[in-house]
């Protein structure tokens, strides 16, 4: 950051210098100069992540070089986008579970930071071990407990909905059975309060009188 910019509290409209840059990560196999000189044949190194830093509108000021850890920390959003685009990590929508964007507990910035740490669902946070929670930083343990409680509440609500749906189905079937019984009574002329006679063999006494 520039001392005359963000670090100066009297600077009006402070803005990060990185905001004016165009940042792009990409895979590239660089020329292996030593191997090429030794064999006389163009040889390339193993493909690895590169970074392209440019100022929009000024094509003469563009830097392209291998990316390092500092670049990843400085531009985590662009790095995460690059990894998703190249299939190095699963896209969030492909990870089964309760997506972080759907959890009201988190702000948009928290979701972005957690995705950078490879957390995509509430279940992943709830099931994280102590080492993973330490990676989240301050508040990680509290967030894990909130995730566990949120899942318990959500799963309980889901069970309640299933029970409600089952009870409604049973009530519907009972109503249908009652309607069928009423229809049978009307067709057979059975008085109200009596069950329709069951079809089958006549009692033994009646058979003897026939």
Q: Mean pLDDT across the stretch 186-209?
A: 59
How many Å apart are CA 134 and CA 141, to the nearest integer? Answer: 8
The tally of domains found in the chain comes to 2
Residue 116 lies in a domain: yes
Pair 52, 71 in one domain: yes
How many Å apart are CA 70 and CA 73, to the nearest integer? Answer: 5
Residue 64 structural domain: 15-89
| DSSP percent split of the chain into helix, strand, coil, nearest 5 | 50, 15, 35
Statement: residue 113 has pLDDT above 70:
yes
Q: Mean pLDDT across the stretch 47-68?
A: 85
Residue 21 lies in a domain: yes
Pair 27, 106 in one domain: no
Residue 203 lies in a domain: no
- Which pLDDT score, from 0 to 100, does residue 147 have? 93
């Amino acid at each position: 950051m520039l001392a005359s910019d963000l670090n100066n509290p009297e600077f009006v409209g402070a803005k990060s210098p990185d905001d004016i840059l165009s940042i792009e990560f990409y895979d590239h196999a660089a020329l292996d100069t030593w191997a090429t000189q030794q064999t006389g044949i163009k040889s390339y190194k193993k493909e690895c992540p590169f970074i392209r830093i440019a100022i929009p509108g000024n094509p003469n000021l563009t830097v392209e070089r291998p990316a390092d850890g500092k670049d990843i920390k400085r531009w985590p959003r662009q790095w995460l986008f690059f990894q998703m685009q190249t299939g190095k990590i699963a896209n969030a929508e492909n990870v089964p579970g309760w997506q972080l964007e759907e959890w009201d507990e988190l702000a948009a910035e928290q979701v972005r930071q957690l995705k950078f740490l490879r957390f995509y669902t509430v279940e992943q946070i709830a099931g994280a071990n102590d080492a993973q929670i330490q990676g989240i930083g301050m508040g990680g343990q509290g967030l894990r407990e909130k995730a566990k409680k949120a899942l318990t509440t959500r799963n309980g609500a889901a069970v309640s909905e299933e029970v409600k749906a089952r009870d409604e189905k049973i009530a519907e079937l009972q109503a249908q059975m009652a309607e069928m019984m009423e229809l049978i009574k009307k067709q057979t002329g059975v008085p109200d309060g009596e069950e329709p006679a069951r079809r089958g063999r006549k009692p033994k006494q009646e058979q003897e009188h026939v």
